[in-house]
Amino acid sequence: HMDSIGFTVRYFNQLLSIGSPDAEMGTKLVGHDSFGPIECELEFDKEDHAFYKFGRLIERGTPLTYKIDFRVSEEFIETAYLDNRLGIYNALKVAETLKDGVIIFSCWEEHGGGSVGYLADFIYKKWGVRQALISDITWITEGVEHGKGAAISLRDRNIPRRSFVDKIIHLAEENNIPYQLEVEGMGSSDGGELQRSPYPFDWCFVGAPELGPHTPNEKVHKKDIDSMIALYTCLMKKL
């Protein structure tokens, strides 16, 4: 998916969430309205309602996102919106050598969905595709760590068909690509939308884990990105 999370400007200086942003007081937000470019600060009141602090009124309905502060070290990348810029980066890297397969860029995953149903209808009817990998970014947890490879998700709030997930695990093993198994009870992805669509798709979430999801400081280990690209390159050939 191609979404950013963030805020919509409401009346007065109120902000409404797009998706579920997780940022501190003082976080820099950017956008633009018909009066020009905007760089303002995020504030909260005691009831945790979000506001903006800016020298002028911002037009109703203007979307605001985190100001990008891209940081790269020997091992890590850290910035806003690695979820899901890295999922897209992975798709584009895989596209460089892809011979047979469809790459889908979806939207609205972060705030209620709505594009996957139509996209699934299209690719199912046009090419008979019935298997999907969700190229997205997941979280560091007690069981999923930085640098140990892309996470193959056995479940989140939704549960993919076990035989399909097993095929993916076996292909990772066979090809010596580092991976981690994730088991989550919360969270969802475009896989959930595919699951509920009236099209018979198998799906599995495969993606690098990050620290600080939905904050301006999402952090991913470079090895996990490499593993993700290697795994997708292999899976798009052999699944």
Residues numbered 179 to 218 that lie near its own copies (CB under 8 A) are: 181, 183-185, 192, 195-200
Is residue 82 within 8 A of residue 69, CB to CB? The reply is: no
Burial status of residue 84 (CB atoms within 10 A of its CB: 0-12, 13-18, 19 or more): buried
Q: Is 120 in the site for its own copies (CB under 8 A)?
A: yes
The beta strands (E) that lie in 110-188 are given as: 131-135, 138-139, 150-155, 179-183
Find the binder of its own copies among 26, 72, 114, 174 (CB under 8 A): 114
Helix 82-95 / helix 222-238 crossing angle, nearest 10 deg: 50
Tokens, residue 69:
């502060």
What is the DSSP code (8-state) at residue 58?
Answer: P
Smallest gap from Cβ 206 to its own copies, in A, equals 14
The nearer residue to its own copies, 29 or 77, going by C-beta atoms, is 29
Do the bridges between strand 150-155 and strand 179-183 make them parallel or antiparallel, or are there none, so unpaired? parallel
- The verdict on 141 binding its own copies (CB under 8 A) reads yes
Enumerate residues 67-106 that contact its own copies by CB under 8 A: none
Q: Which is nearer to its own copies, 86 or 206 (CB)?
A: 206
Confirm or reject binding of residue 121 to its own copies (CB under 8 A): yes
- Are 76 and 219 a contacting pair, CB within 8 Å? yes
Residue from 2, 18, 98, 103 binding its own copies (CB under 8 A): 18
Cα gap 61→81, rounded to integer Å: 21
Decide: is 25 part of the binding site for its own copies (CB under 8 A): no
Q: Does position 61 bind its own copies by CB under 8 A?
A: yes
Regarding 112 and contact with its own copies (CB under 8 A), the answer is yes
Q: Is 170 in the site for its own copies (CB under 8 A)?
A: no
* Region near its own copies per CB under 8 A, out of 40-48, 81-89, 90-98, 118-126: 118-126
Q: Which is nearer to its own copies, 39 or 59 (CB)?
A: 59
Residue 90's region, left for phi above 0, alpha for psi from -120 to 50, else beta, is: alpha
Per this entry, what is the length of the chain?
239
Binding site for its own copies (CB under 8 A): 8-12, 16-18, 60-61, 63, 108, 111-114, 117-118, 120-121, 141-143, 154-155, 157-159, 162, 165, 181, 183-185, 192, 195-200
